[in-house]
Amino acid sequence: MILSIEEISISSREKKIVDNVSLSIRNGEWYALVGQSGSGKSLLSQAIGQMLSPNLQVEGKILFKDKDLMSLSSKQMRTIRGRKLSYIFQDYQGSFTPFRTIGQHFEEYQRAHGILDRETRKTNSISALDSVGLDEDLYNRYPFQLSGGQLQRVSIALALLLSPDLLIADEITTALDSVSGHRILELLAKRQKETGCAILFITHDWRHVKRYATRLAVMKEGQIVESGGKHRILDHPQHEYTKQLIQAAPKLGRGLASGLQEAGTI
C-alpha cells in the first residue's frame, strides 16, 4: 500500500462535502476515481497533499507510506509534496505562472528540493522534456506560447521530475480535445511503466477507466458507493448508481473509434 485513506471527512462550515471515505492505492497501480462533478473527488485528492483552504475541516487518517500525513508539520509536508507526491491539474493554462518561462518553473522546483548544482538542474529539465517528447527549445518559452497539449506534457514532465511515488492526476484530459487527451494518457501510461509510480486518476470518462485503470472507486455525493477491480465493476456493477453511469457512458466497439455513433445510425 502506497496510500491508504481511512475514514476521511471534509466539511465546510455549512455541510459535509466528503463523508467518511476510505480507499487504498497499491504500489505502481493506476487507480481511477470516478464520479460526476461536485462529488468531492478533487477535494479528496487535495486533502491528501493538505492543500485545502483553512476554512475546510479534515478529519480522519491519510497514511502515505505508513506515515500519517495529517500529523506532519507543514515543513515536513513540504518535503513530501513534489518529491514523493505530485499533482497534475485540469487547467493547463493556469498551471504555470504566466510571467515565468518553462525553464524557470523547472529551475525553481528543483531548487526547492535541494538540487543545488545548476548544470544538474538543467540536464534534468532537458531530459524530462525529452521524456515527454518535447523539444528543448521550449525551455526558454513562456507558458502562453505553448499549445494545451504541450503544456499538459510539460505538467507531466514537471510532476514526474523527481520520481514521486504517487501522482495525482485531476481530470487532466478534460480541457483537451480527444486526440490530444488520448496522446497525453498514452504518454502518462508509458511514463508510469518507466518510473513505476502509482497514479490516482480522477476522471468522469469511462473510456479512460476501461483502457488504463487497474482498480477503481465510484464516488457520489461525497461517498464512495463502490470500489474494486476494474473488471469486477465494469462487468458486474453492484450499485444502482454505477450501473447508471456505465449505461450513460458512450459505448466502445460499435460506431467510430472515438466511441461516438456515426450520425444517422441510431
Partner 1 sequence: MKGLSVRLEKKKKYRWQGVLALICVFFVFAVAIYTFFYLRHDPTLTNLNGRLQGVSLQHPLGTDQLGRDVLTRLLLGGQQTIGYSLMALSVALLIGIPFGLIAGFKRGLIDRIFMRIADGFLAFPDTIVAIVLSGILGPGIGNLVLAIVMVKWVSYARLVRSTVLSESQKDYVLIALTNGLSMSKIMKRHLFPHIVGHVLVLASLDLGKIILLISAFSYIGLGTQPPNPEWGAMLNDSRPYFQSRPELMIYPGLAIVAVVLLTNMLGDYLRDRFDVKKEVQQ
Task: Identify residues 20-79 at the interface with partner 1 (CB under 8 A).
Answer: 46, 49, 51, 55, 78-79
CB of 142 to partner 1, least distance (A): 6
Give 84 or 211: the residue with its C-beta nearer to partner 1.
Answer: 84
For residue 20, list its beta bridge partners. none
Work out which of 31, 34, 81, 216 binds partner 1, going by CB under 8 A. 81
CA distances in angstroms from 74 to 64, 115, 222, 234, listed in the order given: 15, 20, 26, 40
CB of 197 to partner 1, least distance (A): 15
Judged by CB under 8 A, which stretch of 3-11, 86-94, 193-201, 202-210 contacts partner 1? 86-94
Work out which of 82, 149, 222, 237 binds partner 1, going by CB under 8 A. 82
Work out which of 89, 139, 201, 206 binds partner 1, going by CB under 8 A. 89
Give 34 or 159: the residue with its C-beta nearer to partner 1.
Answer: 159
Closest CA to 197 of 209, 189, 187: 189
Work out which of 64, 87, 139, 201 binds partner 1, going by CB under 8 A. 87
Closest CA to 85 of 114, 57, 51: 51
Cell 475546510 identifies what position?
56
CB of 172 to partner 1, least distance (A): 12
Q: Check binding of 108 to partner 1 (CB under 8 A).
A: yes
Q: How many residues bind partner 1 (CB under 8 A)?
A: 33
Q: Are 165 and 171 in contact (CB under 8 A)?
A: no
Work out which of 8, 128, 158, 219 binds partner 1, going by CB under 8 A. 158
CB of 231 to partner 1, least distance (A): 32
Cα distance between residue 204 and residue 18, in whole Å: 17
CA distances in angstroms from 71 to 66, 75, 166, 250, listed in the order given: 12, 12, 19, 43
CB of 115 to partner 1, least distance (A): 12
For 229, list phi and psi in degrees, rounded to 5.
Answer: -65, 155
Work out which of 31, 47, 95, 192 binds partner 1, going by CB under 8 A. 95
For 83, list phi and psi in degrees, rounded to 5.
Answer: -90, -45
Cell of 151: 503544456
| Burial of 11 (C-beta count, 10 Å sphere; 0-12/13-18/19+) | middle
| Residues at the site binding partner 1, with contacts judged by CB under 8 A | 46, 49, 51, 55, 78-83, 85-87, 89, 91, 94-101, 104, 108-109, 112-113, 142, 144-145, 155, 158
